[in-house]
Amino acid sequence: ALSGAGIGYLNFIADDQMLRDLSLWSMGSLAGAKWNDLLLAGIGLITLLVLFMKNASGLNALLLGEAEAKHLGINVQSLKKRMIILSAVGVGITVSLSGMIGFIGLIIPHLGRMLSGPNHKTLLPLSALLGGLLLTAADMFARVAVSPAELPVGIVTAIIGAPFFLYLLFTQRGKI
């Protein structure tokens, strides 16, 4: 709600060019990406992946349920807080650079789990790799689909992601 209010306020005070930029940001775009930004984001995201990997065993234990994870010696509340904080930082880094690109965070972990199983020691790096590959492919398509203009990559990922997400809902009903 607070983010929505902030975006609404920016829309209210924006001039025409700023409104266009905000609109493109809300649809997701890699058009404004710069190498310096990529370097800083890459360092941050690789650091986050390492921190996530350090918690992979705890996440695997949590698959058994909270009570079972506690019996295995996992501080479940602490693990949840760490995961929420790490996820929020990761989302903040990526959204600040690319805007809001939907469906990658929804479908890639499910696709990774279908390919590699539930073990977070393989699922986390596989999800990072598959997410990067899908975003790169979607961005390449977005740049050539309506050339010389550029389609926002968030539209492409939504076109790809919505049918896949519906497929998951109908085929994996009891598993998701």
Per-residue pLDDT, 174: 64
Alpha-helical segments (H) within 55-152: 56-62, 66-71, 76-98, 104-116, 120-145
Average pLDDT over residues 103-116: 91
Per-residue pLDDT, 132: 92
Which is nearest to 139 in space by CA: 27, 47, 39, 40?
A: 27
For helices 2-13 and 16-27, the axis angle rounded to 10 degrees is 150
Rounded CA separation 23/49 (Å): 30
Q: Does domain 26-171 have CATH number 1.10.3470.10?
A: yes
Instruction: Provide the pLDDT confidence category of residue 123 given band limits of 50, 70 and 90.
Output: very high
Task: Please state the pTM of the whole predicted model.
Answer: 0.84
